[in-house]
Amino acid sequence: MAEELLKKIPAERRWEITANILSSLFVLRGEKIIAPALGMDEGITAPVMGAEKWIEINVKIFGEGAKILFQMFKDMFNISVEDAIGAAKLVDVVAVLELGPNNSTEFTEYAEESPERVVERQYKCTWMERYKEFNVDPVFITCDKGVCQAWGEEGLKAINPKLSWKVTKSMPRGDPYCELVIEFKEN
């Protein structure tokens, strides 16, 4: 779906966008990843505030950030989001440009695809790969605790209130893939 749109962006520019977005996200939430990678002691913000507050903050950050990113990439690439298929294309473009090659469309399967509903399965995710790589304490892995839901729900709602998003399966919960359902409702 998104491959045609992504091919229009030179590879160097795609990864420049990705690097800028990722560096900003890591500054906000990367203490468990960046500090150890630099040989520093583990960050203190998440452990001090506790998992519940950490999750609450990340849900807000990702929900608000998605509103901006979805609108920016929709406008930048003139992606129509008047149905679930257009919304899925936008989600794929945002995911690849935000998270890089581990969210490539080669790790995506469409179990269902119609203008009213798209069921997308992701078999690989940048965040999951990084969490595994750095042995992040599972209590601080937030994707299955509302972050991915807020990201898709807030991003799509901001560009078209007729769209909905639901995470129905999640690799952090032990599912073999993350399953994302996008629906378009006329009412």
Residues in CB range of 142: below 8 A, 6 or more apart: 54, 55, 58, 59
Q: What is the pLDDT of residue 98?
A: 77
Percentage of residues in the chain with pLDDT exceeding 70?
73
Q: What pLDDT digit, counting tens, does each position of 104-161 carry?
A: 667 889 999 999 999 999 988 777 776 777 676 666 677 778 889 999 999 999 999 9
DSSP string, 83-130: SHHHHHHHHHHHHHHHH-GGG-GGGEEEEEE-SSEEEEEES--HHHHH
What's this model's pTM, rounded to 2 decimal places? 0.76
More confident residue, 24 or 91: 91
Please determine, for residue 28, whether its predicted confidence score (pLDDT) is greater than 50. no
How far apart (Å, rounded) are the C-alpha atoms in residues 183 and 62? 20
Domain range annotation of the chain: 3-184
Mean of all residue pLDDT scores within the chain: 80
